[in-house]
Amino acid sequence: MSSTTASTSLAVVTGASSGIGAATARRLAAEGYEVVLTARREERVEALAEELRAAGHAAWARRLDVTDRADVDAFAASLDRCDVLVNNAGGAVGLEPVAEADPADWRAMYEVNVLGVLHLTQALLPRLVASGAGTVLVVSSTAGHGTYEGGGGYVAAKHGAHVLAQTLRLEIVDRPVRVIEIAPGMVRTEEFSLTRFRGDAERAAQVYEGVAEPLTAEDVADTVAWAVTRPPHVNVDLLVLRPRAQASNSKVHRGPVRTDAPGEARGR
Ligand code: 8X3
């Protein structure tokens, strides 16, 4: 598939059709990686790969369903090498409480957020080891580190992705492959909340209402690029990033930023 030379590192990005995945593909291309953009929506990744090629980057697109193991294996077999795997494909479906949630939604979230990562990682590990300095990166979520009402299925799945990364890091400590987890909090992308609320644009917009500056896909891509471009012996185990206005999964400031110093009212 690729025209990689011995000196060009190749990065595979899953879920590269929009949001964090697309921003990450752009950013890694700009950093000099040859990038392989994968997603179920082939026309989207093909358009982005074309755009990157027109800008002088080495970029390729491949339709890929990370939940389909045969598809993943065929994809892995088509690659000459792989230096970086960015497991970004994932997402949330629904915000129903545990008592009312549809098990099918939970299953779908487990399939893409956990088994998708497992499939790609298993299939590409031989290439990553052969690279001599491989990186497996998992874009998890702050949902992988704490729960919130209505988040159950997504939180359980993202905890699974976190545990996969942690466990793999233990198991391959003697191999030249590092395992990085980037856990973003509130990121305003065009699709995350729209998918969660099954296309209800009004509900999706409410998630970010009044929040001064939610993170952008580019903010996360910047962090991914920073972690990936550290020297190979430096492993950023886990990096949690949130917008300044979000102090925890359930504490978000909505409204203007206060400019009075804390304690000022009491004369301190
Ligand atoms: C997205 C963050 O708070 O919607 O991964 O779970 S949250």
Does residue 247 carry a pLDDT above 70?
yes
CA of 185 to the centre of ligand 1 (A): 5
> Which tokens hold the place of 85?
């795997």
CA of 183 to the centre of ligand 1 (A): 9
d(CA 50, CA 42): 12
Residues 118 and 205: beta-carbon distance below 8 Å: no
The domain segmentation of the chain, as residue ranges, is: 6-249
Residues 61 and 13: beta-carbon distance below 8 Å: no
Q: Atom 2 in ligand 1: which residue has the minimum CA distance? A: 185
d(CA 90, CA 249): 18
Contacts by 173-177 with C-beta closer than 8 Å and gap 24+? 175/129, 175/134, 176/129, 176/131, 176/132, 176/133, 176/134, 176/232, 177/125, 177/128, 177/129, 177/134, 177/135, 177/136
Q: Which of 113, 208, 249, 250 to mutate to test the pocket of ligand 1 (most atoms within 8 A of CB)?
A: 249
pTM of the entire predicted model: 0.96
Q: Which residues are catalytic?
A: 154
**pLDDT bucket at 4, cuts 50 / 70 / 90:** very low
For the domain spanning 6-249, the CATH number is 3.40.50.720
CA of 142 to the centre of ligand 1 (A): 6
Give the number of the atom of ligand 1 that is nearest the alpha carbon of residue 141.
5
Residues 84 and 137: beta-carbon distance below 8 Å: yes
> Which tokens hold the place of 46?
């093909």
d(CA 185, CA 105): 21
Q: Give the tens place of pLDDT for each residue, 99-148.
A: 999 999 999 999 999 999 999 999 999 999 999 999 999 999 999 999 99
Residues lining ligand 1, Cβ inside 6 A = 141-143, 151, 154, 185-186, 249
> Which tokens hold the place of 223?
């962090």
Q: Atom 6 in ligand 1: which residue has the minimum CA distance? A: 143
